[in-house]
Chain A
Amino acid sequence: MTATVLESQLIVGATLFILGVIGFLTRRNLILIMLSAELMLHGVSINLTAFSRYHGNPQGQVFTIFVLTIAACEAGLALSLILSLYQRRKSLDVFLWGKLGEDDLPVFSGSQAPPVTVTADPNVDLPHLTPAGRMPKTQPGPQTKT
């Protein structure tokens, strides 16, 4: 079997993509998960440029530039998210985030939900929104309604 140049490039792109998928699924380090996603983008970029050369128009390369842009956005957002997650658990292990429920809620199974009793723990540092803008002034006195 002899393959053309385009086919060889497609095979390399598919291999890189699959290796990225395997890394994405298996690794437990948050940073390595992000790098595996970038590896998948590399595989796709090889496909795009190969088809661009094969068809002889620049659209594939233009699309690769957009892929590069989105990859930059994704890397920035992912790194800030990783920093924020690391600050809460002091670890990069993704297993620590397998359960996103709150600890002070009761665990139940089945269809019957027990009545929820929320007991606020003052020691737990829950996220809160910072107030924006000024507090609206409430007018004392009689309110006129129409």
Chain B
Amino acid sequence: MDWSKENGLLIIPLVLGCFAVCWLMPSTRQRPRILGGLAALAAILMMQAMLLPPAGDYVRSVLFFVFAAAAVISAGLMITDRNPVYAALWFALVTLAVCGLFLLNAAPFLSASTIIVYAGAIIVTFLFVIMLAQQSGTATSYDQQPIQPLMASVGGFILLGALLFTLQEWGHIDGTSTSEHAEPGQFIALPKEIEPNPLSQAPHDNPHEIGSLRVLGRSLFGDYLFSVEIAGTVLLIATIGAIAIAPRRSQGTL
């Protein structure tokens, strides 16, 4: 079985991860959580073994692995924690790890702005959780009874397996191919030489400063000026909608 030998490396961590998420879901029965944790750890280690980078640039690889593992582990703990306060804290950790990945992707401005935006959002969410969900003092019953954890985990991991299989089969970028467009059946095109768009305002002289404020600002307020205006309008409408939806104190007490 050539096929199963080739793709067994992909299937085993997926099954382990599915089992881990399903096992760690909050439940009324007491289950040893260490079992799910070990399964999740094994799945993550196997995925990382698959992702061994080409030699060289070790600092970058180590940083990438640290941030990626932090993001995935915190996300798993966020969706399985039975206390919504801790879930909000895990989400803050996910955001920090994702900002680290942004930094690795040469996007320092995005990293900073994501931290600023989500810090406010998370603090507000945190206040909401404490204000609404914690009034009884203990974890409520609906936080301990998830909806169909087995079906959701299996379905989600089947979807993840399909995504990873597609990446493995058709996402390979080998340096031998010289065409700028993707081959049929390959959905990632090779990066081509940047040809300056005549309508574009962004300077293309130095491709190494992609994430710098200058290039980003020129592109945002030059190429995408109309979209920026529409985004501002959407923000305004959302603000008006939030004020209209939010209950008045005169109509009832919180």
Contact = CB atoms under 8 A, between A and B. Distances in A.
A49 B84 CA distance: 30
Interface string A53-84: 11111110110111011111111110111111
A26 B147 contact: yes
A53 B210 contact: yes
B220 A62 contact: yes
B107 A64 contact: yes
Contact of B50 (A1, A58, A79, A87): A1
A32 B191 contact: no
* Interface size classification for chain A: 35 or more
A55 B182 CA distance: 13
Interface residues of B, number: 93
Nearest to B254: A87
Contacts of B241: 77, 80
A23 B78 contact: yes
A42 B149 CA distance: 22
Given A11-B167, A58-B215, A80 B245 contact: yes
Interface in B167-221: 167-168, 171-173, 188, 191-192, 194, 202, 204, 207, 210-211, 215-216, 219-220
Interface string B111-143: 001100110010011001100110000001011
Contact of B219 (A7, A11, A62): A62
Q: Please indicate which of the listed interface residues A25, A26, A68, A83 has the most CB atoms of chain B within 10 Å of its own CB.
A: A26
Contact of A79 (B52, B128, B142): B128
Contact of B72 (A12, A35, A80): A12
Nearest to B173: A4
A64 B9 CA distance: 32
B75 A3 contact: no
B110 A61 contact: yes
Contact of A53 (B106, B129, B167, B194): B106
Interface of A: 1-12, 14-16, 18-23, 25-29, 31-32, 34-36, 38-39, 42, 45-46, 49-50, 52-59, 61-62, 64-66, 68-77, 79-84, 86-87, 91-95
5 A-B pairs closest in CB distance: A23-B79, A73-B238, A93-B142, A25-B152, A26-B146
